[in-house]
Homo-oligomer: A and B are copies of this chain.
Amino acid sequence: MTGLGREGMSECNTRRPVSLLDVAKAAGVSRATASLVLRQSPLVADKTRLRVVEAMQSLGYIYNRGAANLRRNRTGTIGLVLNNIGSPFYSALMAGVDEVNEDGSVVTLVANSVDSPDRQIRQIRRLREHNVDGIILCPAIGSDETLAVELARLDLPCVQALRHVELLGGDYVGADYRSGIEKAVRHLVGSGHRRIVFVGAMALHSAARERNEGFRHATGLHGLEGGLVVAGGPDNVYDVAAFDRLLKTRNSPDAAVCYNDVIALNVMNRLRSLGRQPGRDFAVIGMDNLPQAAGAFPALTTIDTRPHEVGRKAAALLQKRIAQPGLANGEHIIVPPSLIVRQSCGETSAAA
């Protein structure tokens, strides 16, 4: 009763962490005032503020955000759910998110769905338990209404990034894959190519479908002999046998637009194995502009889908949603991609 029983022996064995109450006592003010100082309130007199700040420093006070969160019902954290945490593409996205978050002093909790809808739901739940204020979600392949139901239940602002699932609705930030592929085809056509193959086609998620559509649309636009498409799948694979066969046909293609850079690099290697020299006998264009594209041989022409920028935009949008939960959502922000011309698409053959 005489002092809460902890005054007795300061600097004793049981090092209890310094709380705001300790600071307040040391500064001779109330908890409430000390709290106001913490939050830079203009209500406290400068003299008092100074005293409190000094007490904080001398005691080595550390702000306990967790305690504050409980009351404020806001944590200053967001969740980022990726399908493949180890991929450079996603780390660029994450870097963008982190940049914006740091400005808003928000921290990022990362989770990996490994493109499994079940894991995805588990991860989202886990993040929710940690009271993230919102999440940025790159939806896993095969996401279905279970996800929509769960998100509704959790009542959590959610921005989709890179891919979007129609039935979720809501906000989305992604690249314009469609126009990206179209740019690539236009460039090749401009360099005199007429037989262009799209390598790595699949329809497992929106980003893939948009690329396919972009290719179909572009070939139509330029009146190319359509239908030169080689199938692909997740994990950066493509149907190598089909590609090989296609190359052996009369009137075989002399240019490829690839689903992404990794496939493009594989295609270049395959071409060499088949005795063709990428960038000279055969033009190759990739997509994503991964770091390895510039260093490849020949340096890979590619469509930069700017994942870093997508990350920035997604984080900013999520911040907006968190700040004003009432607003109608459903915004779609589409980042325009750009074509980075390097050697793999045979600059020289432009004259042909």
Interface of A with B (CB < 8 Å)? 15, 60, 62-67, 69-70, 75-77, 85-88, 90-92, 94-95, 98, 102, 105, 107-112, 126-131, 153-155, 262, 265-266, 268-269, 272, 290-292, 295-297, 299, 308
Contact = CB atoms under 8 A, between A and B. Distances in A.
A155 to B, nearest CB: 8
Given A292-B291, A297-B268, A60 B129 contact: no
B60 A66 contact: no
Contacts of A98: 85, 110-112
A128 B62 contact: yes
A239 to B, nearest CB: 18
A107 B109 contact: yes
Nearest to A127: B107
A129 B62 contact: yes
Given A62-B154, A88-B88, A90-B91, A77 B262 contact: no
A65 B130 contact: yes
Contacts of A86: 88, 91-92, 94-95, 308
Contacts of A129: 62-65
A128 B17 CA distance: 13
Nearest to A68: B129
A70 B131 CA distance: 13
Contact of A69 (B60, B66, B94): B66
Given A64-B131, A85-B98, A91-B91, A109 B295 contact: no
A223 B126 CA distance: 57
21 contacts: A62-B128, A66-B75, A77-B109, A85-B98, A86-B91, A87-B88, A87-B91, A91-B94, A94-B110, A98-B110, A98-B111, A107-B110, A107-B127, A110-B110, A262-B295, A265-B295, A269-B295, A269-B297, A290-B292, A295-B296, A296-B296
Given A62-B129, A112-B98, A272 B297 contact: yes
A107 B130 contact: yes
A87 B92 CA distance: 8
B60 A153 contact: yes
Contacts of A75: 66
Contacts of A268: 297
A88 B268 CA distance: 22
Q: Which of A91, A153, A154 has the most CB of B within 10 A?
A: A91
Nearest to A65: B129
Nearest to A84: B95
A120 to B, nearest CB: 13
A66 B109 CA distance: 14
Contacts of A63: 129
B131 A66 contact: yes
Contacts of A67: 70
B111 A107 contact: yes
A294 B313 CA distance: 33
A282 to B, nearest CB: 14
